[in-house]
C-alpha cells in the first residue's frame, strides 16, 4: 500500500458512508470512516428516519386508543393517559440500539472509526481532529442539514427544526409547521396525534411537491379530515418570540395583505442542504455546484480522480435507501467491480397514516414524456375502499395507481396512499426493476386478503378489467 494509510477513507458515517465503509471492507480493502458526531449512523439513525418513526409508531397507537378507534373494534380502555417521557425514552432506546449496531458492524468488518470533523488537506490527504491521513480513495458522504429560513431563527425552544421537534418536552397547544413536505407532515402528524392543533403553511399551491398530482390532492383531503389546517400559497415573512410562544407573519405567496398567526411552537421544515462547509473542498481541487452539492458522474466519481461522493451531498432525492445503495455501488466501483444504482427506480414513502408511497414517474411526468415521444400512457386505479383487507381493518382511505406505457404496457410509475403503502411499494419497485408490464402484475397471484391485492387490481385496471369494482 506504499505510503497510503488506507485504501478507502469515507467522510461521514450516515447510511451512505457507513454502508460504503462496510462494503469496501467486505471487499478486502483497508477502510476508515471519519465521523464528527459522537455516534455513528448519521442523520437517519440519530435525528431522522429512526427517531421520527419511533414517535410516529407510538403516537399512532396513542391516537388509536385515545380517539376511540380501538373501542370501536371492541378494545375498551377504561383509563389512559400520555406518558411523553416514556415515549421519548423508547425513541432514544431505538436510536441507541441502532447506532450501537453500526459500531458493532464497524468492529466486525475492521472499519476504523476516526472520531472528529474531517477536512481536506490535499487530493488524497484529510485531517480528522488532529490526525492527518492519506487515502488512495476518499468518499465524501457528509450528508445534509436543515435549510435555515431567514427571519425565522431556530432557538430549539419555540422555534424548532426537525431535530428539536423530536424532543419537545410537552405537547404544544398550537404548532405551526412551515413547509408542507415530508418532515412537516410526518412530525406534524406526531404532535397532532398527541393533541396539538397543527397548521401547515406551504409556499406552493399544494403539499408534497414532487409527488403524483392526484396523490397530493387526495393526501391534502385526508390530512384535512384528520384535523390539519393548511395555508397553501402562503409565505412566512417573519417570526417574533412573544412570551413563551411565537407570532408569525405570513402573506399570500403572490403578494398581498399580511396576517399574523400565534403559535406555541413553530417547526421550520423547508428542505435540507448539502453539508460541505468546513470540508475545504478547494484544497482537494473541488468546488460545489449552484445548489451547494458535490457533482458526480454515473459511477459516483467527482472531477478529481480518487475522490468520490454519495448520498445527500450529491444531487438527487435525499433518502436513506438511495444513500445506502450508492454506498454499496461506490465501494464496488472502488474495488474494480461494477456498482450500479438505478436512479429511475428509487421508492419514496411518507410515513403518515395512511402512508403515501411512489416509485418511478408521476402521471404528469409520464404524460409529458409520452407526448414528447409521440406515444401515450394508460393509467389503472383501484380504491382501498374496495380492498377486502382494508375493509376488515377499517382503513378505507387511499388508492393504488399504476401508470404504464400504452404500447409496450411497461410499468412507468406506481403511486399509492394506503395504510401499509411503505411496505407495498417494495413490490412495485421490484416489478419495475425487472421491467414488468401491468399484465405481469395482474397475472401474479397475490395472497388474500391483503392490501397488496389493490396493487394487482390497479394493474388489472390499466387494461380496464379489475374484478372488485
Ligand atoms: P447523513 O445521514 O446526513 O450522514 C452524514 C454524516 O456525515 C453525519 O453524521 C455528519 O455528522 C457527518 N459529517 C458531515 N460532515 C463531516 C465532516 N466534515 N467530518 C466528519 N463527519 C462529517 N430518509 C428516508 O429514506 N426515510 C425516512 O424515513 C427518513 N426520515 C427522515 C426524517 C427526518 C426528520 C430527517 C431530517 C431526514 C429523514 N430522512 C429519511 C432522510 C435521511 O436521513 C437522509 O437521506 C440520509 O440520512 C442521508 O444519508 P447520508 O449518509 O448521505 O448523510
Ligand atoms: P421537502 O422538500 O420535502 O418539503 C419542504 C416544503 O417546504 C416544500 O413543500 C416547499 O415548497 C416548502 N417551502 C419551502 N420554502 C418555504 C417557505 N419559505 N415557506 C413555506 N413553505 C416553504 O423538505 P423537508 O420536509 O424539510 O424534508 C427534507 C428532506 O428530508 C426531504 O427531501 C426528504 O427527502 C427527507 N425526508 C424523507 C423522509 C421520508 O423518506 N419519509 C422523512 C423526512 C425527511
355 lines ligand 2 (CB under 6 A): no
Which of 182, 210, 261, 274 to mutate to test ligand 2, by most ligand atoms within 8 A of the CB atom?
182
> Following CA atoms 149, 153, 155, 159 in sequence, which dihedral angle do they give, to the nearest 10 degrees?
-60
pLDDT in tens, 73-84: 999 999 999 999
Q: Is the pLDDT of residue 133 over 90?
A: yes
Measured in Å, residue 43 CA sits from the centre of ligand 1 at: 3
202 lines ligand 2 (CB under 6 A): yes
Cα–Cα distances in angstroms (integers) from residue 405 to residues 112, 159, 360, 367, 386, in the given order? 48, 47, 12, 9, 25
Among left, alpha and beta (phi > 0; psi -120 to 50; other), residue 360 is left
Helix (H, G, I), strand (E, B) or coil at 37: coil
Q: Would you state the cell numbers that stand for residue 184, as one nine-digit string?
A: 412537516
C-alpha span between 455 and 468 (Å, rounded): 12
C-alpha span between 33 and 21 (Å, rounded): 7
C-alpha span between 425 and 54 (Å, rounded): 21
Measured in Å, residue 459 CA sits from the centre of ligand 2 at: 30
> Following CA atoms 259, 260, 266, 268 in sequence, which dihedral angle do they give, to the nearest 10 degrees?
30
> What pLDDT shows up at residue 294?
98
16 lines ligand 1 (CB under 6 A): yes
Contacts of 446 (CB under 8 A, 6+ apart): 452, 453, 455, 456
pLDDT in tens, 207-243: 999 999 999 999 999 999 999 999 999 999 999 998 9
Nearest to 219, CA basis, from 452, 456, 415, 446:
415
Which DSSP symbol is given to 414?
E
52 lines ligand 1 (CB under 6 A): yes
Q: Is the pLDDT of residue 134 over 80?
A: yes
Half-sphere exposure of 162 (CA within 13 A, CB side): 27
Task: Report CA Rg, the chain.
Answer: 24
- For the CA of 348, the closest atom of ligand 2 is 40
Nearest to 345, CA basis, from 442, 430, 439:
430
Q: Is the pLDDT of residue 347 over 70?
A: yes
Q: Is the pLDDT of residue 333 over 70?
A: yes
pLDDT in tens, 350-404: 999 999 999 999 999 999 999 999 999 999 999 999 999 999 999 999 999 999 9
Q: Would you state the cell numbers that stand for residue 17, as one nine-digit string?
A: 458512508
How high is the mean pLDDT of the chain? 97
The two counts, helices (H) then strands (E), for the chain are 13, 22
274 lines ligand 1 (CB under 6 A): no
Q: Which ligand is nearest to the CA of 12?
A: 1
DSSP string, 155-216: -SSSEE-TTGGG--SS--SEEEEE--SHHHHHHHHHHHHTT-EEEEE-SSSSSSTTS-HHHH
Q: Is the pLDDT of residue 2 over 70?
A: no
C-alpha span between 403 and 307 (Å, rounded): 39
Domains and CATH numbers, the chain: 6-146+273-334 (3.50.50.60), 159-270 (3.50.50.60), 348-463 (3.30.390.30)
> What pLDDT shows up at residue 462?
98
Cis bond before residue 449 (omega within 30° of 0): yes
Which of 39, 142, 268 to mutate to test ligand 1, by most ligand atoms within 8 A of the CB atom?
142
> What pLDDT shows up at residue 464?
83
- For the CA of 320, the closest atom of ligand 2 is 40
Among left, alpha and beta (phi > 0; psi -120 to 50; other), residue 95 is alpha
Measured in Å, residue 15 CA sits from the centre of ligand 1 at: 7
C-alpha span between 239 and 249 (Å, rounded): 6
C-alpha span between 32 and 133 (Å, rounded): 10
Partners of 436 in the β-ladder: none
C-alpha span between 199 and 182 (Å, rounded): 15
pLDDT in tens, 3-41: 999 999 999 999 999 999 999 999 999 999 999 999 999
pLDDT in tens, 243-272: 999 999 999 999 999 999 999 999 999 999
Nearest CA to ligand 2 atom 15: 270
* Helix H or strand E segment including 328: helix 320-334
pLDDT in tens, 161-178: 999 999 999 999 999 999
Measured in Å, residue 298 CA sits from the centre of ligand 2 at: 26
Measured in Å, residue 451 CA sits from the centre of ligand 2 at: 28
pLDDT in tens, 394-449: 999 999 999 999 999 999 999 999 999 999 999 999 999 999 999 999 999 999 99
* Helix H or strand E segment including 89: helix 84-109
| Biggest CA-to-CA distance, the chain | 71
Q: Are 275 and 142 in contact, with CB atoms under 8 Å apart?
A: yes
Q: Is the pLDDT of residue 99 over 70?
A: yes
204 lines ligand 2 (CB under 6 A): yes
Half-sphere exposure of 282 (CA within 13 A, CB side): 2
Helix (H, G, I), strand (E, B) or coil at 247: strand
Q: Is the pLDDT of residue 1 over 70?
A: no
Q: Would you state the cell numbers that stand for residue 374, as one nine-digit string?
A: 409521440
Look at the pTM and tell me if it is higher than 0.75.
Answer: yes
> What pLDDT shows up at residue 465?
85
- For the CA of 53, the closest atom of ligand 1 is 28
Amino acid at each position: 500500500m506504499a505510503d497510503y494509510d488506507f485504501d478507502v477513507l469515507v467522510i461521514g458515517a450516515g447510511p451512505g458512508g457507513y454502508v460504503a465503509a462496510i462494503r469496501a471492507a467486505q471487499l478486502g480493502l483497508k477502510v476508515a470512516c471519519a465521523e464528527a458526531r459522537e455516534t455513528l449512523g448519521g442523520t437517519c439513525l440519530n435525528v431522522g428516519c429512526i427517531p421520527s418513526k419511533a414517535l410516529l409508531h407510538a403516537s399512532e397507537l396513542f391516537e388509536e386508543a385515545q380517539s376511540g378507534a380501538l373501542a370501536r373494534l371492541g378494545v375498551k380502555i377504561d383509563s389512559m393517559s400520555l406518558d411523553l417521557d416514556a415515549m421519548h425514552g423508547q425513541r432514544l432506546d431505538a436510536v441507541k440500539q441502532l447506532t450501537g449496531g453500526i459500531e458493532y458492524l464497524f468492529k466486525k468488518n475492521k472499519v476504523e472509526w476516526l472520531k472528529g470533523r474531517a477536512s481536506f488537506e490535499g487530493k488524497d490527504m484529510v485531517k480528522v481532529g488532529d490526525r492527518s491521513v492519506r487515502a488512495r480513495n476518499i468518499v465524501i458522504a457528509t450528508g445534509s442539514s436543515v435549510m435555515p429560513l431567514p427571519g425565522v431563527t431556530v432557538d430549539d425552544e419555540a422555534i424548532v427544526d426537525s431535530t428539536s421537534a423530536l424532543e419537545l418536552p410537552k405537547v404544544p397547544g398550537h404548532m405551526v409547521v412551515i413547509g408542507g413536505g415530508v418532515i412537516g407532515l410526518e412530525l406534524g402528524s406526531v404532535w397532532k396525534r398527541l393533541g396539538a392543533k397543527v397548521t401547515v403553511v406551504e409556499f406552493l399551491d399544494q403539499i408534497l411537491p414532487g409527488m403524483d398530482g392526484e396523490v397530493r390532492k387526495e393526501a391534502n383531503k385526508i390530512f384535512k379530515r384528520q384535523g390539519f389546517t393548511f395555508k397553501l400559497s402562503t409565505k412566512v415573512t417573519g417570526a417574533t418570540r412573544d412570551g413563551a410562544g411565537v407570532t408569525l407573519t405570513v402573506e399570500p405567496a403572490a403578494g398581498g395583505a399580511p396576517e399574523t398567526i400565534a403559535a406555541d411552537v413553530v417547526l421550520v421544515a423547508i428542505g435540507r442542504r448539502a453539508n460541505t462547509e468546513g470540508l475545504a473542498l478547494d484544497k482537494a481541487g473541488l468546488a460545489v455546484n449552484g445548489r451547494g452539492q458535490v457533482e458526480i458522474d454515473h459511477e459516483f466519481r467527482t472531477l478529481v480522480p480518487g475522490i468520490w461522493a454519495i448520498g445527500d451531498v450529491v444531487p438527487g432525492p435525499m433518502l436513506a435507501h438511495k444513500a445506502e445503495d450508492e454506498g454499496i455501488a461506490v465501494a464496488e466501483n472502488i474495488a474494480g467491480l461494477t456498482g450500479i444504482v438505478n436512479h429511475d427506480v428509487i421508492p419514496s414513502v411518507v410515513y403518515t397514516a395512511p402512508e403515501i408511497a411512489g416509485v418511478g414517474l408521476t402521471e404528469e411526468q409520464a404524460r409529458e414524456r409520452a407526448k414528447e415521444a409521440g406515444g401515450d400512457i394508460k393509467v389503472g386505479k383501484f380504491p382501498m375502499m374496495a380492498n377486502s383487507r382494508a375493509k376488515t381493518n377499517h382503513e378505507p382511505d387511499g388508492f393504488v395507481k399504476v401508470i404504464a406505457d400504452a404500447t409496450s404496457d411497461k410499468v412507468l410509475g406506481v403511486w399509492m396512499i394506503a395504510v401499509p403503502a411503505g411496505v407495498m411499494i417494495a413490490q412495485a419497485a421490484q416489478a419495475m426493476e425487472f421491467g414488468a408490464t401491468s399484465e405481469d402484475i395482474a397475472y401474479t397471484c397475490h395472497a388474500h386478503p391483503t392490501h397488496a391485492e389493490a396493487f394487482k387490481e390497479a394493474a388489472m385496471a390499466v387494461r380496464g378489467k379489475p374484478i372488485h369494482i
